[in-house]
Structure 1
Amino acid sequence: MKVILLEDVKKVGKKGDLVNTSDGYARNFLFPKKLAVEATKSSINDMKLKKQSEMRRQEELLEQAKELAKEIKGSEVTIKIKAGDGGRIFGSVSTKEITKAAKEQLGFDIDKKKMQLKEPIKSLGTHIIPIKLNAKVKTELKVKVQEL
């Protein structure tokens, strides 16, 4: 029996796949747990339409990420923090603080999880922070850490 999976099913397939399973497995396991629907002409057509709309949505998100990357690329954020002897700062500058400063100074709303900071910044000076906005879009933000 041909079915369209509504969820990922181990050893069967991923969500949205058209797979061939035994009649008993489909009727006794997949259908009662709402993991799949029978593959009729209308359900196959619905699946195609959903995939097309999802692809369009992904393309729009990609374009938005590219535009944001262009805006971020040349910008710089300044963070002022207390420092001691030799340029060592008290504490550290984390992605949370960088996100807050970017929103206040530049107006960019960047998710802190997208910043790929290996470890918090612990020294004064200019640091370049890589940002992964999308699977295909990466950019960099300059962060200038200054003494208060």
Structure 2
Amino acid sequence: MLQHLLRLQSKAAGPLGQQIRGIKRAPRSLPVILTQDVSNLGLAGTEVHVNHGYARNTLYPKRFAVPSTEINKERFYRESQMVAAAGASKPSAQETNQMQLGAVLKKLLRTPVVIRQKVEEEGSQSLQEPVTGPMICDAVARQMQVALPEALLDLPGPIVEHGEYNISLRIKLGEGARARLLVNVLPAAA
């Protein structure tokens, strides 16, 4: 009898001897802070409520959102304050294109393009095959990962001797200056 009473005290039993469990009251939505703009959900830095599965299976793995904790809220608040203080806004598409074009031009103007061609005879300056515009564009694409259209090259004629050449580009830099591409034509090893 004593064992039976101890067993009853250890379990919270209902009227039919069944164990009573608490009512599940888990929230149906989970607050998250978006780290990027997500279509049909919100802008970066905003707090939204989503289903647990959507957050766990989509937003967190793709790093579109972080849990809405006090630390994350403070971090995003500080970042938004810094952006507002700096007066920074997202650049327009035209400004982005201008920045990309400027980066490409810097790369083209600073780095020489090296082309190796066979010479006719040892000690000779003449090349077996002249260097043409398409060859220069291919070398720029391979060495600098920049697609340079042949129409931008102001090449008076094919290059027939090895050496260093400054080739004008049909791009105006300002104040009438034109961009130049440095091409080194070196003899190839036999």
Could you tell me how far 1:67 is from its partner in structure 2? 3.3
Aligned CA distance change for structure 1 residues 134 and 68 (closer, same or farther; 3 Å): farther
In 2, Cα distance between equivalents of 1:71 and 1:130:
15
Larger radius of gyration: 2
- Residue 150 of structure 2 is matched in structure 1 by 112
Judge conservation of contact 1:78–1:145 (CA < 8 Å) in 2.
Answer: yes
In 2, Cα distance between equivalents of 1:108 and 1:141:
13
Could you tell me how far 1:63 is from its partner in structure 2? 5.0
Judge conservation of contact 1:76–1:143 (CA < 8 Å) in 2.
Answer: yes
In 2, Cα distance between equivalents of 1:133 and 1:68:
12
The number of aligned residues is 93
- Residue 42 of structure 1 is matched in structure 2 by none
1:122-141 equivalence runs, <5 A: 122-133=160-171, 138-141=178-181
Q: Does 1:67 align with 2:107?
A: no
Unaligned runs of 5+ residues in structure 1 are 1-55
Aligned CA distance change for structure 1 residues 72 and 140 (closer, same or farther; 3 Å): same
**Structure 1 residues 54-93: Cα deviation after superposition (integer angstroms, max 9, x where no partner):** xx98776555433322221111111111102321001210
Higher relative contact order (CA 8 A, sep 6+): 1
Aligned AA (1:95): G
In 2, Cα distance between equivalents of 1:126 and 1:77:
10
**Structure 1 residues 5-46: Cα deviation after superposition (integer angstroms, max 9, x where no partner):** xxxxxxxxxxxxxxxxxxxxxxxxxxxxxxxxxxxxxxxxxx
Unaligned runs of 5+ residues in structure 2 are 1-91
- Residue 97 of structure 1 is matched in structure 2 by 135
- Runs of 4+ deviating beyond 6 Å: 56-60
Judge conservation of contact 2:140–2:148 (CA < 8 Å) in 1.
Answer: yes
Judge conservation of contact 2:170–2:179 (CA < 8 Å) in 1.
Answer: yes
TM-score, normalisation: structure 2: 0.42
Judge conservation of contact 1:76–1:141 (CA < 8 Å) in 2.
Answer: yes
TM-score, normalisation: structure 1: 0.53
Aligned CA-pair RMSD: 2.5
